[in-house]
């Protein structure tokens, strides 16, 4: 088989999806393997059937250890090793995995990190500069969101700004070349409350970095942009939406009239970036809450309204996530599944009519749901958290220079979060040195109940992948670890 056959009509390329024509996929794989002389005629159907089952498995459950997959197929080690080799010779099977219900795990996270060799250092417990560094520059936040883990009233003393921004500048300066997306600004607290954000953005851009700021955009005013022109050097502004009217915003954030201000800020930002012909990208993040999938149509109206402010510079991207899967087992109820699927179809139809240039990322679970599979989010628990964490992959640095191992731990005064501080960047201590000391000293953190909430979705995926890879190595499958590389 050749890679050009990997099309939407190819039964092999679709074999990991619900409703796939599995007999046709098996027949196609069998015919290709036999014609190439890779398997005998008599064994062809059995081998092809097992290869398709592997594509099904890893297209839906990407974190399956190889030994578990071997037992699923009920074959000996030699036969399984041969199957793995044959799988890699059929490009359409790989396509099926990468574009299956769990495809976003592979496409967005696992394979990009594999291509960079990021997991190797973590598995070997060797120091390496983090692949991604989050800078958390905000000293405060104007919202009190009910879902946020932030301690009410917690903030950094304004006296920390000068030294903190100098520290952030030093971190930016030590980021290795070759990965333009190696850092971002987020929080923690609201990044735009730091008056030095623009200068830090310019410094990053001068080094060839393309950072995104994750913001609520309440402070994304024309006055802020005038005072901090370096904000225009960002690669992107990604705004988290907490509703689509003032009532929803106040219910979520505790701040009156916040939605109107955010909308006005974004409309003016649209106009300004058009006038300046700035390449900066504008995107939004929106969470679908239970019972509110119908609000997706109002979201399209909201984005279309922003586009009217600058017709030549429409909103670039939208990240849609769901909060339905917050069940103990991470699974949806059948009624909720149907509700979401119906709502997403109506949403996509509205987008195609009103905001056709919008790039939409549905994330892990919603992508799975869109293919017709059950939406099931990954669940890491204290028992499966890695005691060595993964600082070679990602760390977060707050205004004090504290280096947090997980993305949801970087909030001031958050109970238990200090156990996930690898060290502190400051005069005489670089981020490189903090990571080296943490790894070389063999520091291990025993998770407490609830510590998994310090991990965001990315952290959970990385932990699950490392657990999978480690299991493969222990089982003697090091050469084929992780199934796809």
Give dist(CA 21, CA 405) in Å, integer. 44
Answer yes or no: are the C-beta atoms of 429 and 460 closer than 8 Å.
Answer: no
What's residue 150's pLDDT? 61
Domain limits of the chain?
3-100, 383-480
Instruction: Name 471's Cβ contacts closer than 8 Å, sequence gap at least 6.
Output: 65, 66, 67
**Rounded Cα–Cα distance for residues 116 and 243 (Å):** 37
- Which tokens hold the place of 360? 């939409």
DSSP code, position 384? G
Whole-number Å distance between alpha carbons of 95 and 87: 11
Between CA 88 and CA 113 the distance in angstroms is 19
Whole-number pLDDT of residue 5: 39
Beta bridge mates, 396 = 134, 404
CA–CA separation, 197 vs 189, rounded Å?
A: 13
Local structure of 176: helix, strand or coil: coil
Please tell me what DSSP assigns to residue 3.
G
Token digits of residue 411: 């909030």
What is the dihedral sign for C-alpha 271, 274, 280, 286? positive
- Tokens standing for residue 24: 């046709």
Work out the angle between the directed axes of helices 22-35 and 44-60 (0-180°, nearest 10).
130
Per-residue pLDDT, 152: 64
How confident is the model at residue 2, as a pLDDT? 43
Q: Which residue has the tokens 């069940």?
A: 327
Burial class (CB in 10 A: 0-12, 13-18, 19+), 286: buried
Nearest alpha carbon to residue 105 among 57, 61, 53: 61
**From first to last of its 485 residues, what are the pLDDT tens digits of the chain?**
444 334 457 999 999 999 999 999 999 999 999 888 888 888 989 999 999 999 999 999 999 999 999 999 999 999 999 999 999 999 999 999 999 999 999 999 999 999 999 999 999 999 999 999 999 999 998 877 766 666 667 899 999 999 999 999 999 999 999 999 999 999 889 999 999 999 999 999 999 999 999 999 999 999 999 999 999 999 999 999 999 999 988 888 888 899 999 999 999 999 999 999 999 999 999 988 777 888 999 999 999 999 999 999 999 999 998 876 555 555 667 787 788 889 999 999 999 999 999 999 998 888 888 888 875 567 899 999 999 999 999 999 999 999 999 999 998 889 999 999 999 999 999 999 999 999 999 999 999 999 999 999 999 999 999 999 999 999 999 999 999 99
Work out whether the CA dihedral 343, 349, 355, 360 comes out positive or negative. Answer: positive
Q: What are phi and psi of 283, to 5 degrees?
A: -140, 170
Joined together, the tokens standing for residue 382 give 């204290």
DSSP state of 313: S
Determine phi and psi for 287, rounding to 5 degrees: -105, 125
Instruction: Compute the C-alpha angle 367/241/149, nearest 5°.
Output: 90
Cβ neighbour number for residue 251 with a 10 Å cutoff: 12
């Amino acid at each position: 088989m050749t890679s050009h056959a990997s099309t939407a009509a190819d039964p092999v390329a679709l074999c990991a999806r619900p409703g796939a024509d599995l007999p046709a996929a098996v027949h196609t794989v069998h015919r290709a393997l036999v014609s190439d002389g890779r398997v005998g005629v008599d064994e062809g159907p059995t081998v092809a059937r097992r290869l398709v089952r592997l594509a099904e498995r890893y297209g839906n459950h990407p974190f399956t250890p190889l030994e578990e997959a071997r037992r699923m197929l009920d074959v000996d080690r030699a036969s399984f090793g041969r199957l793995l080799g044959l799988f890699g010779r059929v490009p359409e099977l790989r396509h099926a995995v990468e574009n299956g219900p769990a495809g976003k795990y592979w496409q967005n996270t696992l394979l990009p990190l594999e291509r960079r060799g990021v997991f190797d250092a973590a598995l070997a417990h060797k120091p390496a500069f983090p692949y991604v560094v989050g800078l958390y520059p905000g000293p405060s936040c104007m919202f009190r969101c009910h879902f946020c883990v932030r301690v009410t009233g917690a903030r950094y003393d304004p006296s920390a700004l000068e030294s903190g921004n100098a520290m952030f500048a030093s971190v930016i300066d030590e980021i290795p070349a070759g990965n333009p997306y190696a850092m971002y600004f987020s929080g923690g607290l609201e990044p735009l409350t730091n008056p030095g954000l623009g200068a830090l953005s310019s410094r990053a851009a001068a080094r060839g970095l393309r950072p995104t700021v994750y913001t609520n955009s309440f402070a994304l005013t024309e006055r802020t942009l005038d005072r901090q022109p370096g904000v225009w050097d960002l690669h992107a502004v990604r705004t988290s939406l907490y509703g689509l009217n003032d009532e929803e915003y106040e219910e979520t954030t505790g701040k009156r009239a916040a939605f109107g201000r955010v909308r006005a800020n974004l409309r003016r930002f649209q106009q300004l970036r058009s006038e300046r012909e700035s390449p900066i990208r504008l995107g939004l993040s929106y969470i679908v809450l239970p019972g509110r999938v119908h609000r997706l149509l109002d979201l399209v109206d909201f984005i279309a309204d922003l586009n009217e402010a600058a017709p030549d510079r429409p909103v670039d991207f939208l990240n849609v996530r769901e909060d339905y899967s917050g069940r103990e087992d991470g699974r949806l109820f059948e009624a909720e599944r149907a509700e979401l699927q119906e709502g997403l179809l109506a949403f996509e139809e509205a987008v195609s009519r009103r905001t056709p240039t919008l790039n939409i990322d549905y994330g892990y679970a919603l992508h799975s749901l869109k293919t017709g599979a059950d939406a099931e989010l990954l669940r890491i628990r204290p028992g499966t958290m890695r005691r060595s964490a993964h600082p070679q992959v990602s760390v977060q640095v707050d205004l004090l220079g504290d280096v947090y191992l997980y993305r949801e731990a970087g909030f001031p005064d958050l109970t238990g979060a200090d156990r996930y501080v690898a060290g502190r960047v400051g005069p005489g201590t670089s981020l490189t040195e903090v990571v080296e000391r943490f790894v070389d000293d063999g520091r291990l953190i025993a998770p407490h109940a609830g510590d998994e909430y310090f991990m965001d979705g990315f952290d959970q995926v990385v932990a699950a992948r490392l657990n999978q890879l480690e299991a493969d190595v222990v089982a003697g499958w090091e050469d084929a670890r992780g199934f796809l590389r």
